[in-house]
C-alpha cells in the first residue's frame, strides 16, 4: 500500500513537472513569436530607411550628371562605388541592378556585375530580380520576400529585401535582412525574458 502511495506521489510530482515544463515552453514560444514580429517590424523599418539613404546618395550623383559637373559614366561609377563600400548592422549591404535586369553592383557577388540576372532564381523558383524590377515599376519601392545566401555562405536563407527605384537611371537600389537572424535573436530574447520572469516569481 505504501509503495502504491509512493508511486502515486511520484507520478503526481512528475505530472506537475511536466505541466510546468509545458507551460514554460508555451510561454517561450508565444514570447518568441511576439518578439519576432516586433523585431521584424523594427528591422524592416531600418532597412527601408537605409535604402532611402542609399537612393539619396545616388540622387546626388544623378544631379551632378544632370548639371554637367560629372559625365553620366563618372556619376554612375562614383555612385556604385559609394554604395559598394557601405555597411550597416554588421554585414548588411546594398546592391544595384538596372531594369534589364542587369546587375550593376553587388559587393558580395561581384561576379554577377554586368550580367543579365533575369534568370537568377531563389530556392522557390522565383526570378527575384525580375520581381524587384516589377515592384519598383509598379510602386516605386517596397518589400520582397525571397531566399539568398548570407555573406560568406553559399546556402540560401530566407530574406526580406527592400528595393527602391532611381527612375532617371533605371536603377533599383536594394538591401535585405536575414529572417533566420531575426528569429534566432527573438528566441534568445524571449528565453532571457522568460528566465527573468521566473527568477522574479521565485524570489518574490
Count of Cβ atoms closer than 10 Å to residue 17 Cβ? 10
Residues 62-80 have pLDDT tens digits of 999 999 999 999 999 999 9
Closest Cα to residue 192, out of 35, 38, 39, 40? 35
Measured CA to CA, the distance from residue 132 to residue 134 in angstroms comes to 6
Q: Does the pLDDT value for residue 20 go beyond 80?
A: no
pLDDT at 190: 59
The yes-or-no verdict on residue 56 having pLDDT over 60 is yes
Nearest to 82 by CA among 98, 102, 104, 66: 104
Query: According to the model, what pLDDT value does residue 1 have?
Result: 53
Which residue would you say has higher pLDDT here, 153 or 59? 59
Please write the tens of the pLDDT for every residue from 143-191: 999 888 877 777 787 888 999 999 999 999 999 988 766 566 656 665 6
| C-alpha Rg value of the chain to the nearest Å | 25
The cell 525574458 sits on which residue? 193
Q: What is the pTM of this model?
A: 0.74
Cβ(96)–Cβ(117) below 8 Å: no
Grid look-up 544632370 returns 66
Mean model confidence pLDDT for the chain = 83
103-105 and 95-98 strand pairing: antiparallel
What does the alpha-carbon distance between residue 162 and residue 37 come to, in Å, rounded to a whole number?
17
- Model confidence at 50, pLDDT cuts 50, 70, 90, reads very high
Amino acid at each position: 500500500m505504501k509503495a502504491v502511495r509512493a508511486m502515486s506521489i511520484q507520478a503526481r510530482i512528475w505530472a506537475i513537472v511536466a505541466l510546468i515544463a509545458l507551460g514554460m515552453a508555451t510561454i517561450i514560444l508565444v514570447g518568441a513569436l511576439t518578439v519576432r514580429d516586433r523585431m521584424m517590424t523594427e528591422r524592416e523599418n531600418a532597412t527601408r530607411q537605409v535604402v532611402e539613404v542609399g537612393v539619396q546618395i545616388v540622387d546626388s550623383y544623378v544631379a551632378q550628371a544632370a548639371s554637367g559637373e560629372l559625365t553620366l559614366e563618372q556619376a554612375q561609377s562614383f555612385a556604385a562605388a559609394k554604395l559598394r563600400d557601405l555597411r550597416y548592422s554588421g554585414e548588411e549591404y546594398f546592391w544595384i541592378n538596372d531594369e534589364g535586369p542587369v546587375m550593376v553592383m553587388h559587393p558580395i557577388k561581384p561576379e554577377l556585375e554586368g550580367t543579365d540576372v533575369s534568370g537568377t532564381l531563389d530556392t522557390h523558383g522565383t526570378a527575384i530580380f525580375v520581381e524587384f524590377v516589377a515592384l519598383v515599376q509598379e510602386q516605386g519601392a517596397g518589400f520582397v520576400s525571397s531566399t539568398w545566401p548570407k555573406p560568406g555562405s553559399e546556402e540560401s536563407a530566407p530574406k526580406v529585401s527592400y528595393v527602391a527605384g532611381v527612375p532617371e537611371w533605371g536603377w533599383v537600389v536594394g538591401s535585405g535582412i536575414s529572417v533566420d537572424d531575426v528569429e534566432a535573436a527573438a528566441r534568445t530574447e524571449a528565453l532571457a525574458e522568460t528566465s527573468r520572469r521566473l527568477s522574479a516569481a521565485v524570489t518574490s
